[in-house]
Amino acid sequence: LQVDGTIQAPADPSVIKGTEQWFKFLYMDHLTLSGKGVFDGQGATVYKKAAPAAAWSGKNSNSKVFMNFGFNFVNNSIVRGVTSKDSKNFHVMVFGCKNITFDGFTITAPGDSPNTDGIHLGKSTDVKILNTNIGTGDDCVSIGDGSKQITVQGVNCGPGHGLSVGSLGKFTTEENVEGITIKNCTLTATDNGVRIKTWPDAPGTITVSDIHFEDITMTNVKNPVIIDQEYCPWNQCSKK
């Protein structure tokens, strides 16, 4: 699929109410998405209405709606060159995928846009995020449960909340995270640098292992390295 023009989502979220992702690729093998095109989520109206706590509340529920892209059970595939702009929620969800690469990809949203994670991974193996520019109002990359053999290399992050593993441990259905390499990345004016975040007193009993952060350059980053085992935004949990 080659896209060289600009494709715009409806600005009014009610038009696509109940839709998790605006562009969704399901059960595919050997997909190539490329070109100079821009997928414009037109998220400005949503950003203005969302209070921070309300925006966050959807992050760990089943209401991840209005994302620009969903790659679900997509294998042996590549996304190259295109731009994801102003998604109403997460820009990209990668779920249940094997051997998928993002190379020369661009993600952009205002620094104050709530819950606009760049690329979120879950239950996926052998994912590569390479030579990619990500500027958002949330995590540039967030690595969720069941992620294995993940490489994040040559990524420029900022603005945003950094390169994160987690949050993890909130649900009993979560799977182990292992084999994560984040290297040769640059973070500029982000809230965090590299981060691992897990919930306190959570029902999840997974392990997080074989994590490598290498050759990371940070400029004007508030919290360069964080390993947080009491991740509890907006006090929506018990810190036992």
Active site residue 161: yes
Residue 43 lies in a domain: yes
pLDDT of 64 reads: 53
Residue 77 lies in a domain: yes
Give residue-wise pLDDT tens across range 112-154.
999 999 999 999 999 999 999 999 999 999 999 999 999 999 9
Q: Please count the structural domains in the chain.
A: 1
- Distance (Å, rounded) from C-alpha 50 to C-alpha 170? 23
Give the C-alpha distances (Å, rounded to integers) separating 132 from 9, 80, 102, 142: 23, 9, 8, 14
CATH code of the domain covering residue 96:
2.160.20.10
Give residue-wise pLDDT tens across range 61-76.
434 578 999 999 999 9
Structure tokens at 59: 């992050």
Residue 18 lies in a domain: no
Compute the average pLDDT of residues 176-192: 98
Residue 153 lies in a domain: yes
- Distance (Å, rounded) from C-alpha 44 to C-alpha 28? 31
Q: Which of 30, 91, 120, 161 is catalytic?
A: 161
Residue 233 lies in a domain: no
Helix (H) or strand (E) holding 200: none
Residue 54 lies in a domain: no
Residue 186 lies in a domain: yes
Q: How confident is the model at residue 54 (pLDDT cuts 50, 70, 90)?
A: very low
Provide the domain limits for residue 224: 23-47+67-228
Residue 118 lies in a domain: yes
